[in-house]
Structure 1
Amino acid sequence: MLTVEHRENVAWVTLNRPEKQNALTFEMFVAIDKTIKRLKKDRQLRAVVIQGAGGNFCSGLDVKSMIKKPSAIVRLLFKWLPGNANLAQRVCLSWRRLPVPVIALIDGNCFGGGLHIALGADYRITTSCAQLAIMESKWGLCPDMGSGPLLPSILSYDQALKLAWLGTTISGKQAAQLGLASEVSDDLQASCDDLLKRLLIRSPDTLAAIKRVNQSAYQQNLRATLAKETFTQIKLLLNKNTKTAMHNATHDEQKPYSVRSKW
């Protein structure tokens, strides 16, 4: 489900459901959240690498497993205060709160929730033929995993809208051209090792300070955006057109949408 291996003060975090392209179950959300909290307490930690097992990063939410546990959806979205990050948002945003460089290695499919987790990394290395997509619109939903505050520092407004509106699948090469990926390499391990080698000769306090200052400079109004993400998703989950979108995503027969609600 999730494995963590420490090599010379670098934590290699692997999404490990290769038979399901590392699709996210509720248990994986919990495991990722607990892992990040544990890593944050490790003063010896110098860097984190996130990757997927079996040739794919993550194909997104395991919809079938979630449907079987409706209470899990409530637990994913629950928060005590509107501006707090819920569990779904923490698995994206909390990587940014680690005071060390976080690198995501993207290969194969990186869709929906998988892409949001990768966006939480500070640096993303992708293969040229990897496939990336913001998938939520396919199901009549909007992105709600905490990437909202991050995207303005990664993508231009129009490209962020286009990718989220259409759920378009793009290659790793295209992702790098847009800024969604930091670097393209068809030898992820070698590129990651080279980057780590150059990072780890710097003072850990310097790396932490630079990360903190840049987050302050680039970050949007975090609490307001997180609240809007969650409230908007709840409104969509209760929306008649969302049910139509879910039907259309799984059936050949396409149903027409109702008149748009007030937004």
Structure 2
Amino acid sequence: MVQFETIENIAWVTLKRAEKQNALSFEMFKQLDQIIHKVRANRQIRAVIIQSEGEHFCSGLDVQSVIKRPSHIFKLLIKLLPGNQNLVQRVVLGWRTLPVPVYAILQGNCLGGGLHIALGADFRIAKPNTQVAIMESRWGLCPDMGTSIILPSYVNQDNALLLAMSAERINAHQAKEYGLVTVVHDNPIDYIEQQINSLRQHSPDALAAIKQLYNRAYHPPSRRLLFLETWYQIKLLCTKNTRIAMKNGVKGSDSKPYFKRAKWK
């Protein structure tokens, strides 16, 4: 479901589940995690390009398939220590740890988990037909894939809150204005190849040092944020309102009223 190949020292990572708009299954999370380790181990690689087959980048988590297997939810969220990264956080923040530039090519729907993975890339090149959204609130959940660390350097707090609370889609040009997209381009591959050819003229060690330095400057480590993301998600998964939200979020379903809010500090 996720293809990995290296061509002329460029790693191509391709989501291959077009019939499901490349919705993320449990197996895809595991494969992406393994690919990040493979790239890190290969010191010949000069750049990574994340792309997808079909008309859409990724419609987010395949909620229906994951909730059918409660053990998969546990495996996605489990971590040895509260501040460590779990699987869903690693497939976003892992791209940041790679000592090479990482590009994501976006088109069509780039929603929920798909947008979070794209935000883990250093650069997001979007086709004009791209739509992005932070979708978790539609299912009664909160974003929990590590982007609470990334978003503050991209998006103002009011816009981040609006996107996350409303789960509304915005187009590619709006996403660029917000800072979620780097460039809107009709032919992202041409654009990225030009960028990579230019970067090949520079020392790979210099590029690695620059990326590591700027990651520390813009995204300081925050083990507490990683803990809170997971803790809030687990708390939400245990509430009656989340079960109602998941039913209400399905197209064509009758909307049911929510219970009063739980205690939040």
User: How does the TM-score come out when normalised to structure 1?
Assistant: 0.98
User: RMSD value over aligned CA atoms?
Assistant: 1.0
Q: Which residue of 2 aligns with 1:174?
A: 174
Contact 1:127–1:173, Cα closer than 8 Å, also in 2: no
Distance 1:221 1:231 in 2: 18
Contact 1:60–1:113, Cα closer than 8 Å, also in 2: yes
Q: Letter of the aligned partner of 2:261 in structure 1? A: R
Q: Letter of the aligned partner of 2:260 in structure 1? A: V
Q: Which residue of 1 aligns with 2:156?
A: 156
- Aligned runs of 1:1-263 on 2, under 5 Å? 1-250=1-250, 251-263=252-264
Contact 1:141–1:237, Cα closer than 8 Å, also in 2: yes
**Size of the alignment, in residue pairs?**
263
Distance 1:75 1:252 in 2: 29
Q: Percent identity?
A: 54
Distance 2:110 2:137 in 1: 16
Distance 2:247 2:20 in 1: 22
Distance 1:244 1:185 in 2: 40
Q: Letter of the aligned partner of 1:12 in structure 2? A: W
Which piece of structure 1 moves more, 243-252 or 210-219?
Answer: 243-252
- Residues 216-238 of structure 1 show CA distances to partners (whole Å, capped at 9, x for unaligned) of 11114421110000000000000
Distance 1:262 1:18 in 2: 41
Distance 2:59 2:195 in 1: 26
Distance 2:32 2:69 in 1: 19
The DSSP-based 3-state class of the residue aligned with 2:249 is helix
Contact 1:106–1:130, Cα closer than 8 Å, also in 2: yes
- Residues 187-243 of structure 1 show CA distances to partners (whole Å, capped at 9, x for unaligned) of 111111111111221110111011011011111442111000000000000011111
Distance 2:169 2:199 in 1: 32
- Following TM superposition, by how much is the alpha carbon of 1:87 offset from its aligned partner in structure 2, in angstroms? 0.4
Q: Letter of the aligned partner of 1:232 in structure 2? A: Y
The DSSP-based 3-state class of the residue aligned with 1:51 is strand
Distance 1:220 1:212 in 2: 11
- Following TM superposition, by how much is the alpha carbon of 1:253 offset from its aligned partner in structure 2, in angstroms? 2.0
Distance 2:142 2:201 in 1: 41
Contact 1:151–1:160, Cα closer than 8 Å, also in 2: yes
- Following TM superposition, by how much is the alpha carbon of 1:55 offset from its aligned partner in structure 2, in angstroms? 2.2
Contact 1:129–1:173, Cα closer than 8 Å, also in 2: no
- Following TM superposition, by how much is the alpha carbon of 1:25 offset from its aligned partner in structure 2, in angstroms? 0.6
Which piece of structure 1 moves more, 243-252 or 129-138?
Answer: 243-252
Distance 1:102 1:112 in 2: 19
- Following TM superposition, by how much is the alpha carbon of 1:89 offset from its aligned partner in structure 2, in angstroms? 0.6
- Following TM superposition, by how much is the alpha carbon of 1:252 offset from its aligned partner in structure 2, in angstroms? 3.6
Q: Letter of the aligned partner of 1:241 in structure 2? A: N
- Residues 38-77 of structure 1 show CA distances to partners (whole Å, capped at 9, x for unaligned) of 1101011110000111121111111222122110000000
